[in-house]
Amino acid sequence: MIIRTFGWSFGVSAIGLVAALAMGGPGALALVAILAVLEISLSFDNAVVNARVIERMSRFWQRMFLTVGIVIAVFGMRLAFPLLIVGVTARLSPGEAIGLALDDAAEYGRRLHEAHPLIAAFGGMFLLLIFLDFVFEEREFAWLAWLERPLAKIGKLDQLSVVVALAVLLTATSVTASEPGPVLAAGVLGIVTYLLVNSLGRLFEAGGEEGDDDSGATTAGAGSSVGKAVGGEVGGKVGGAVGRAGFFLFLYLEVLDASFSFDGVVGAFAISDDLLVIALGLGIGAMYIRSLTIFLVRRGTLNEYVYLEHGAHWAIGALAAIMLIGLGHDVPEIVTGLIGLAFIGTAMISSTVRNRRVAGASGLPDGAHAVLAGTPSTSADAVGTLGTGTPGRH
C-alpha cells in the first residue's frame, strides 16, 4: 500500500535530490530537502481537504488530479505563476521576467516579496471562505462543540460567509496594508474566484444529477455544491462527479492548491534564491501532498478519524488569518507550519479518544471504524489504485 501510493513520490524525491547534489553539491541537496519538508508541513491540511473533494470525483478526474494536476501544481503554481506575478507587478514581459529569475534570482525574489500582499489577499480570502463555509454549516459531528455549534446556528443566515469575509478584508486592508487599494482589489478577486468556481460546480453537478435521476441511477449528495463537498457531504454513489461537474471539482482543487502554495513560494526565497533549487524542493513536496491525499482516501481515514477534517479546516482558517496578518507583517513559515500540524495532530488524537470511548460503550472492537464514524467507508473502492486499474483494498 505504501509503495503503491507513494512510489512516484519516492522516485521523484530520489531524482530531485540526485539532481540537486549534481547541480550544487551537499549544500543544494540540504536546501532541497528543507524546502520539501517545509512544503509538506505547510500543506498537510491541504491534503486532508483534497481527500474529501476527490472522494466525489470519478476515476477519470481522480487520474487527472494525479497526472495533469501535478504538472499544474509543480510547473504552473510553483514556477510559472510567480513569474506571472512578478511580470504583472513589475510591468515586465514574460521573457524579461524569466530572464530576471535566471540571471538575478535575488532581485526576482525581492520583487516577488513586494507582490506578497496581493498574493496573500487573494489566497487568504479564498481560504477564509472555505473555512467559513465549513464552520457555518451544521454537521453530524462537532469537534470544538462549544464553538462550532453556535457558529452553525448563526450560519443559517444567507450569505453570512461572504459578509464576514468582506468585513475581514476591509478591516485587514485598512489596518495592515500599506497600499490598501490594490490589496483590496486582490482580496475581492479571491472572493469572486471562490464564488464563481463554487457556483459553476453546483450548477453543473446539479445538472448531472438530474440526468442520473432520469436514468434511475442513485445520486451522490443531490444539490450539493463544491463547497459542501469540501465540507464533507459524501454521497453513496461510487464513481463520483463526471463531465463538467468533475472538471469544476478539479478546478477547485487546483485553485485551492494555488492558495496553499503562495506563501510557500514566497517564503522559499528566504531559504534560497536559486530558482531551480526552489522548484526541486517545492516540487518534491507537492508530489507528497498528492500521494498523501490518495492515501487518506484509500484508507478511509476521514471516515475513521471523524475530527480530522475539522482540524484541517481550523488550520485553514488559521492560515487565512496569518496570510491577512502578513499584509503588513512578516510571519515566519515555521509558525504557519506548526499551527497547521498542531490542529491536525490534536484532531487526530481527539478522534482516537472518541473511537475508543464509543467502542468501549458499545462493545464494538476498535477496528469498527465505519460504524464508529457513522459513515460507510466506500471511498477506497472508488479511488482504487489510481493509475493501475485494479480495485482498492482496505
Q: Is residue 275 part of a domain?
A: yes
Q: Is residue 390 part of a domain?
A: no
Q: Is residue 45 part of a domain?
A: yes
Domain that includes residue 316, residue range: 2-383
Q: Is residue 393 part of a domain?
A: no
- Of all residues in the chain, the percent with pLDDT exceeding 90 is 8
357 Cβ neighbours under 8 A, 6+ residues apart: none
The predicted structure's pLDDT at residue 330: 75
Please provide the average confidence, as pLDDT, over all residues in the chain. Answer: 76
| Greater model confidence, 22 or 338 | 22
Q: Is residue 377 part of a domain?
A: yes
DSSP 8-state secondary structure symbol assigned to residue 74: I
User: What ranges in the chain are assigned the alpha helix state H?
Assistant: 2-54, 59-66, 68-71, 81-89, 94-103, 105-114, 116-135, 145-154, 160-175, 180-214, 226-231, 243-268, 275-298, 301-304, 308-325, 333-362, 369-373, 379-383
Alpha carbon distances (Å) from 114 to 14, 55, 181, 270 = 34, 38, 15, 13
| Greater model confidence, 96 or 225 | 96
Q: Is residue 101 part of a domain?
A: yes
CA angle at 334 for the pair 297 and 112, rounded to the nearest 5°: 95
The grid coordinates listed for 201 are 460546480
Split at pLDDT 50, 70, 90, the class of 242 is: low
Q: Is residue 394 part of a domain?
A: no
Number of domains observed in the structure of the chain: 1
Split at pLDDT 50, 70, 90, the class of 184 is: very high
pLDDT of 6-63, one tens digit each? 887 888 889 989 998 888 888 888 888 888 887 887 777 888 888 888 887 888 888 8
